[in-house]
Amino acid sequence: MMINLIISKMEREHLDSLAELEKICFSQPWSYKSLEDELENKTAHFFTALVDGEVAGYIGMYIVCDNCFVTNIAVFPKFRRQGIAKALIKMALLTNDAMETDFISLEVRGSNEPAIALYKSFGFEQNGLRKNYYKNPTEDALIMTKFFKRNG
């Protein structure tokens, strides 16, 4: 089934939906205000997935000193398993390629096997562990990173 998917820069009109998505997906969600603050943050690169104009998900990352750290990736339950997370990761990788970063890194719950498999499919590898990083429930975070080989 084909969906009408557009990935665009996060805009103010997306924030209500994204704040709600945060509450659905995360035990310690970002607030509306936290998301709003990223609109003015020069190191922040946040993208929203829209399906037929409806917010389906998003990815947020910071790019500082040729390094990229993904802060958030989430998709509304009704839009999962439709390639939206893959499209968001592709957008992150394109952004990193354009900005010539050295790597892109993220944290994921050790029990989140679908996300881990997705990240591995894009060449991310586990290269660290944060003990008891997540709360509600307490769980370790796997640090997964994809390094880029740059000429020069």
pLDDT band at 77 (very low <50, low <70, confident <90, very high): very high
pLDDT of 57-75, one tens digit each? Answer: 999 999 999 999 999 999 9
Question: What is the per-residue pLDDT for 80?
Answer: 93
pLDDT of 84-119, one tens digit each? Answer: 999 999 999 999 999 999 999 999 999 999 999 999
Q: Is the pLDDT of residue 1 over 60?
A: no
Under CATH, domain 5-147 is a member of which superfamily?
Gcn5-related N-acetyltransferase (GNAT) (3.40.630.30)
Q: Considering the entire predicted model, what is its pTM?
A: 0.92
pLDDT band at 152 (very low <50, low <70, confident <90, very high): low
What is the C-alpha separation between 148 and 129, in angstroms, rounded? 21
Indicate which residues carry an active-site annotation.
107, 119
Domain boundaries, the chain: 5-147
pLDDT band at 150 (very low <50, low <70, confident <90, very high): low
* Cα angle for residues 87, 91, 148 (degrees, 5° grid): 115
pLDDT band at 151 (very low <50, low <70, confident <90, very high): low
pLDDT band at 149 (very low <50, low <70, confident <90, very high): confident
**Which regions of the chain does DSSP assign to beta strands (E)?**
5-9, 44-51, 54-64, 67-75, 103-109, 125-134, 139-147
